[in-house]
Structure 1
Amino acid sequence: MHHEQSILRPLVESILSKKPGGERIINEYHRTKSLQDDNRRKMVNILAADLTEKNGTSPPRQLKEKYARGIVTLFPYLSDPHSKNGYEHYYDGESGSGYLAWRIKTIQRSAAKDRRSSFGESCGGPSHGGGPTARRDSHVVPETALSEEECKEAISLMKHSADEDTVKNKMKLTFDYRRNKVLDPQQSSSILSDFPRFQDVKGLVEQDFVLMFGEGVSGKLLERWPTTYKKKIIQQCRQLPSTSELEELLLAADPPEDDTEVDADVGWDSDLSSVLLLLHLIPPSAQGRKRPGKVSASQAEKHLVVFKKTGTSIQEHLDAITTSVQPYLLAVGVKKNAIHQFYIVLEKKAIPCKSISSLGAFDELFKAHYVFGTAYNTMLRNMYTFLQTTVYSIDVGIVKESPRVAEVRARLLH
């Protein structure tokens, strides 16, 4: 017990003493052997922020208990003599209640809201229907509806099953249950914890998307990009004001057949370069007066795809993520145009793409927004909306489009 105190006491003390207002909390306790409500709230906020910053918005139970125990170790007079451990009013693992638990739930709700906030809402404009966060009828009606209890059994089985076909089948059966969780702001942030097989069984994102929209919608990008869109986007981009980034992408997307002097090792492959050209053709909207203000297509690119050299740690990349971000592609390879594995990064986790082609991986990235109910990154929203309505034909006439989206569509489809 003494050893535990020697660990827990400095843990909480050092967190508080490094934060504004923390010293005042410690001083008040030493002076009065108690804390007023406002300082107790501040203490809980500081500790919950520390917990979630270091461990994500769903820190494990043991850690929450550790922090709660740390509070009453540092401030013994805050301990409740009537409870089993004395710290349950800060965190009770059995019921998931207590000041610390409630504060973390507030942080989770706020993170989920940020993740789901649509462009219209974030700009204070009217909220428009459609898009990845909309509730919609599924394309496929499940043959058998599972009860909640059966769903929980299936989820438990999936976590440990070595057979991928079993996992895929159970994922189909739990689709409706999962959709309801995805669309619930209080539960959406735990989807990858509840369904961890997204992270090792390839093709589950695609499977859920097909259940939502059907095979016809699902196949549209891969069918139509090479034949309809790619060439026209390249043509349109040749008419844009020239920049070095644009020229590099044009060269990579449409390399000259006879020119062997082109250094083809610096850029992405032809397909991904053509997708990034679309970002130049339909650039990010100005973000209003607040930062980040006007964002260039080149700046927005890193919110779409990030390159990692083969052999570098993916976990390190995930650990370095400090803010809640929208999904993006992590491309791992020896060079940008020789990628051997794409991942979708979401909630500080990496979901391996089924496709090894860049266009296939991008297709999965787009679909992940719908499968996980996460709003488009505001910097990429115009481009994604174009793909949503023009290529996939989702929510046509329902979702709000920028004038540029309509203008580019008119140019490409005529």
Structure 2
Amino acid sequence: MRETFQYRQKILHDPQHSADVLQMFPRFLDTKGLILQDFSMMFGEEAASKFLQKWNSSFKDKVIQEAKNLKETSLLKRHLASALNEGSETGRKRPKKISVEEAADHLVKFQKSCQSLEDHLMTTKGGSQPYLLATGTSKAQVFNFYIVLDKKLVPCQSCTSLGAFDELFKSHFVFSVKYDDSLSSLYTFLQTTVYNIDIGRSEETPRVKELRARLLNKQ
């Protein structure tokens, strides 16, 4: 797959063929780690490693503190409790305002491992933006993550929520997919603040700029 990287990049920048990349390169569907490989080849090892290296040490506590200042819901409280107890793992439209519950559903869906993955693909409604599918015996016992894109399953190399989310973010660049409108501020914040990609060239909302400034200046 390394040998076909440049050809794959050419296809992704061709509007007539970019949507067919998973059909043309089906190894993404049965080989873990290819998203990580392509992202590293696109942006370099340093940028590729920033999220997993910096999240727990530089951003996690600051983001949790910012979240505590938001209007609390039962789901937000559960997410905060989970984050606080978590170990080392874990024309442009205006972004649509959605609830915490809806945002979580846009990012990750859960399915018990005893259920058919094909049934999930057939019954789930959604657009062309990727999301995570977590499978396990319960939401507290997840064993595998997949990235769902165009009703196809791309297996994640990581079995942790943090690592899987890293792969989900990177899939937007590897497959040349735009961010979900309702999550664009979140992804843009991570892109510019954590991964340091296209700083000053990406369109950011005032709130994203303000949050980045607060976090980077917070001791």
Once the two structures are aligned, what percentage of the paired residues are identical?
49
The residue number in structure 2 matching 1:86 is none
Change (3 A) 1:411 1:348: same
**2:171 paired with 1:375:** no
Say which of 381, 393, 396 aligns to 2:199. 396
The residue number in structure 2 matching 1:242 is 72
**2:7 paired with 1:177:** yes
C-alpha displacement at 1:272, in angstroms?
8.2
Deviations 1:56-113 (A, max 9, x none): xxxxxxxxxxxxxxxxxxxxxxxxxxxxxxxxxxxxxxxxxxxxxxxxxxxxxxxxxx
The residue number in structure 2 matching 1:200 is 30
C-alpha displacement at 1:344, in angstroms?
0.4
**2:21 paired with 1:191:** yes
Deviations 1:32-72 (A, max 9, x none): xxxxxxxxxxxxxxxxxxxxxxxxxxxxxxxxxxxxxxxxx
Distance 1:191 1:272 in 2: 30
Deviations 1:209-265 (A, max 9, x none): 11100100000000000101111111111122222121111111114xxxxxxxxxx
The residue number in structure 1 matching 2:215 is 412
C-alpha displacement at 1:380, in angstroms?
0.7
* Letter aligned with residue 383 of structure 1: L
Secondary structure at the counterpart of residue 208 of structure 1? helix
Q: In the alignment, is the contact (CA less than 8 A) between 1:386 and 1:405 conserved in 2?
A: yes
C-alpha displacement at 1:271, in angstroms?
7.4
C-alpha displacement at 1:325, in angstroms?
2.4
Q: In the alignment, is the contact (CA less than 8 A) between 1:222 and 1:360 conserved in 2?
A: yes
The residue number in structure 2 matching 1:254 is 84
**2:29 paired with 1:225:** no
Change (3 A) 1:413 1:213: same
C-alpha displacement at 1:322, in angstroms?
4.6
Distance 1:177 1:362 in 2: 26
Q: Rg: which structure is higher?
A: 1
**Structure 1 consecutive aligned stretches of length 4 or more whose deviation exceeds 4 Å:** 269-273
More strand by share: 2
**2:127 paired with 1:324:** yes
Q: In the alignment, is the contact (CA less than 8 A) between 1:199 and 1:350 conserved in 2?
A: yes
Q: In the alignment, is the contact (CA less than 8 A) between 2:5 and 2:38 conserved in 1?
A: yes
C-alpha displacement at 1:321, in angstroms?
3.7
Say which of 144, 149, 152 aligns to 1:349. 152
The residue number in structure 1 matching 2:143 is 340
Q: In the alignment, is the contact (CA less than 8 A) between 2:32 and 2:155 conserved in 1?
A: yes
Change (3 A) 1:373 1:241: same
Q: In the alignment, is the contact (CA less than 8 A) between 1:271 and 1:358 conserved in 2?
A: no
- Aligned pairs for 1:303-318 (under 5 A) are 303-318=106-121
Distance 1:217 1:226 in 2: 16
Distance 1:242 1:297 in 2: 10
C-alpha displacement at 1:334, in angstroms?
1.3
TM-score, structure 1 length as denominator? 0.50
How many residues are aligned here? 214
C-alpha displacement at 1:298, in angstroms?
2.1
Distance 1:298 1:403 in 2: 24
The residue number in structure 1 matching 2:45 is 215
Distance 1:322 1:197 in 2: 25
Distance 2:52 2:184 in 1: 20
Change (3 A) 1:399 1:386: same
- Of stretches 330-339 and 197-206 in structure 1, the one that deviates more from structure 2 is 330-339
Distance 2:37 2:154 in 1: 14
Distance 2:188 2:10 in 1: 24
Q: Which runs of 5+ in 2 are unaligned?
A: none
Q: Which runs of 5+ in 1 are unaligned?
A: 1-170, 256-268, 274-284, 288-293
